[in-house]
Amino acid sequence: MLLKLFKSNHPYVLFLIPLVGVALWIPTLFNVPVDVHTANLGSTTFVFNWLQELLSYYPKASIIFSLILIIIESYLLIWLNFKYVFIENRTYLPAVLYVVFASTLSAYQMLHPLLISNLFILLAINKSFLLDNNKNHFKRYYESGLFLGLGALFYPNIYVFIFIVWLTMVVLRRFNWREWFSSVLGIATPFAFYIAFLFLTDKNQEVFYKLLAIFNTQASALSFSVYSLFAIGFLGFVTLISLLMGLRVVGVKKISIRKYYSLFSLFLIYIIALFIMHPSLGYELIMPFAIPLSIICSIHFTEIRSKLVGEVLFMLTILSVFVIIWMQ
């Protein structure tokens, strides 16, 4: 029944999404004692530091703001799905799963720079996910890079996601070096203004140290209980099954859905590779990871043939996330 409820496109699901978020954030919102480690923020910028300082006087407001941001991003994912049709059936399930997956680690239920930058990643996806091969879209790819550059004002490591924009050019369009260059120019524009500001305010050394921090900051480590490890293993199983079953399902869909599925699969694999190989990136990657994961799992859950199996898998997925949050 739970899957049937959330995969529908009834408007009341939109009102249930914030309730799902509140339920997942209960330990953080209501100071319920849970044995978790607080994640460090990694390398940040003066823009994020200013926002954090502004909200530091109101700790609860900072947490509520973070939860609201996740809910807004989930609604934006619905809009992107309806606009580009990643999933053939009109459903609000991607938004529900985005809130669930982005909230999985209670250590990151906080105002984190990557949580803010996630909004800019979604806006960049909106500009770059186009299938029109008949026109040059320098402006759109410049705007994609620009959104990532704006995200870098909060989270410097967001530069690694320019690769996602380039992937869209490979999968969705013919090669055009001007579009590639325009995306690089877009991400460099806010960065240039940022450096200029630091120089004009006599913070020359800060320019060097901020750049150095991107490569030298070590990812924060988290420890997990045995119960959490079992739950994480189950979520990994669901992810793998969704990827494999999705290949079968989208194989008979129209070309655009197949291409979008390929993009989200590559997006997912790329983030896993970043987690393994990039020393500055750690568990905070759960936030951008939630974007492709919610789409891929939604395809699986909406297309699954056995209603009973679908309901059981979905409920176990939600339960696994609650186990990780409460028993991390």
pLDDT digit string, tens, across residues 3-33: 888 888 888 889 999 999 999 999 888 876 5
Domain encompassing residue 280: 2-32+40-327
Q: How far is CA 277 from CA 162, 164, 212, 224, 236, in A?
A: 17, 17, 18, 21, 19
Q: Compute the distance between CA of residue 251 and CA of residue 217 in angstroms, rounded to an integer.
A: 42
Q: Compute the distance between CA of residue 34 and CA of residue 27 in angstroms, rounded to an integer.
A: 7
Map tokens 């029109």 to a residue. 132
Residue 106 DSSP code: G
Cα-based angle 71, 72, 75 (whole degrees, multiple of 5): 90
Output b/e per residue, 240-273; b: 16+ Cβ within 10 A: eebbebbeebbeebeeebebbbbbbbbbbebbee
**Is the separation of the CB atoms in 61 and 242 below 8 Å?**
no
Residues with pLDDT less than 70, the chain: 32-43, 132-134, 202-221, 328
Q: Specify the number of domains making up the chain.
A: 1
Q: How far is CA 100 from CA 21, 194, 289, in A?
A: 7, 34, 12
What are 86-122's pLDDT values in tens digits? Answer: 898 889 999 999 999 999 988 888 888 889 999 999 9
Q: How far is CA 146 from CA 84, 115, 151, in A?
A: 21, 18, 9
Nearest residue to 299 (alpha-carbon basis) of 254, 243, 255:
243
| Cβ-Cβ contacts under 8 Å for 46 (sequence gap 6 or more) | none
